[in-house]
């Protein structure tokens, strides 16, 4: 399905990003496993993909850093001569109530989750335009759609991801580049492990399927959006939340 395509997955050392990288590889893509702090974990994802017969390479880049993103993406294009798929998955949380939230916690979340998406799309789109094809999938969150107490910074960043997705979809459609977003609900990962048992139980009560999602259940939707099976879909936000 994705044979011959080169895919960048940001924040692919762990959690949802690692599952996306593995799924895209399983479907035939060569995968760039981006990471920032977890070098060992990213190397493991790379090795796992190679052991299964796929092609992957782990590459460090802090997505919140504009210059680093430029060098990262230029380097990938120089090496492979094409970038067909970009999955902007890297994300962080710094939860806290609005009136006590530090400027640093606000900036860190916006710079990683929103500016990081801008940085990568900014540089990848140049190369996709050259080839007149490409698919970009941005990972938002239901928190960006409906809001969540204690997540003013995170909700703002994820709502921003929806905005940038819709604008970029309109801007890039004439060049046959599609841009979509996935908004997961609660998914089992390091990010949700941090939540208290009380918050987890409360969350399950508003999920129709009565459980948290698995990273692989997000990855299969991302793979669908990344590939040609979704060729008439652009500017969309797919909520993958077990029916919240
Ligand atoms: P996670 O397990 O905490 O993993 C986060 C990933 O992002 C890691 O691979 C981390 O890499 C990477 N990352 C963080 N800062 C980075 C930076 N500056 N540059 C590059 N990579 C960076 O999180 P997750 O649960 O898998 O979440 C993945 C995405 O889904 C995020 O965008 C998150 O907001 C979104 N999401 C998650 C849920 C959920 O319930 N889990 C729900 C809705 C949306 P290093 O460790 O190498 O730094």
Q: Find the CATH number of the domain harbouring 85.
A: 3.40.50.720
Residue 209, in any domain of the structure = yes
C-alpha 214 to ligand 1 mean position (Å):
14
Confidence of residue 216 (pLDDT cuts 50, 70, 90): very high
Ligand 1: which of 67, 185, 191 to mutate, judged by most atoms within 8 Å of the beta carbon? 191
What pTM does this model have? 0.98
> Do 121 and 169 meet the contact criterion of CB atoms below 8 Å apart?
no
Residue 164, in any domain of the structure = yes
Residue 30, in any domain of the structure = yes
Residues 72-121: tens digit of each pLDDT: 999 999 999 999 999 999 999 999 999 999 999 999 999 999 999 999 99
pLDDT of residue 181: 99
Q: Is 154 an annotated catalytic residue?
A: yes
- Give me the domain span that covers residue 34: 6-240
Residue 18, in any domain of the structure = yes
Residue 132, in any domain of the structure = yes
CA-closest residue to ligand 1 atom 39: 187
Residues in contact with ligand 1 by the CB-under-6-Å rule are 10-11, 13-17, 34-38, 62-64, 89-92, 112, 139, 141, 184, 186-187, 189-192
The structural domain count of the chain equals: 1
pLDDT of residue 77: 98
pLDDT of residue 154: 98
Residue 216, in any domain of the structure = yes
Residue 188, in any domain of the structure = yes
Residues 21-52: tens digit of each pLDDT: 999 999 999 999 999 999 999 999 999 999 99
| 61: Cα separation from own chain's centroid | 14
Residue 1, in any domain of the structure = no
CA-closest residue to ligand 1 atom 44: 141
Confidence of residue 228 (pLDDT cuts 50, 70, 90): very high
């Amino acid at each position: 399905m994705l044979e011959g395509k080169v895919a960048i997955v940001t924040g692919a050392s762990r959690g949802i990003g690692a599952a996306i990288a593995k799924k895209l590889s399983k479907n035939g893509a060569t995968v760039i496993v981006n990471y920032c702090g977890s070098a060992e974990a990213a190397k493991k994802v790379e090795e796992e993909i190679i052991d299964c017969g796929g092609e992957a390479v782990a590459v460090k880049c802090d997505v919140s850093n504009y210059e680093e993103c430029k060098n990262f993406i230029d380097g990938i294009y120089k090496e492979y001569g094409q970038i067909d798929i970009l999955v902007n998955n890297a994300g962080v949380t710094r939860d806290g109530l609005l009136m006590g939230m530090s400027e640093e916690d606000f900036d860190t979340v916006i710079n990683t989750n929103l500016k990081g998406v801008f940085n990568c799309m900014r540089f990848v789109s140049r190369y996709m335009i050259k080839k007149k094809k490409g698919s970009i999938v941005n990972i938002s969150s239901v928190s960006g759609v409906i809001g969540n107490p204690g997540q003013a910074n995170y909700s703002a960043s994820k709502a921003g991801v929806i905005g940038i997705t819709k604008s970029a979809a309109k801007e890039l459609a004439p060049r046959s580049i599609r841009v979509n977003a996935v908004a997961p609900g609660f998914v089992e990962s390091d990010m949700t492990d941090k939540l208290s048992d009380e918050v987890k139980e409360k969350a399950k009560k508003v999920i129709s399927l009565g459980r948290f999602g698995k990273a692989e259940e997000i990855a299969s939707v991302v793979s669908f959006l990344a590939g040609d099976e979704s060729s008439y879909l652009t500017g969309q936000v797919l909520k993958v939340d077990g029916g919240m």
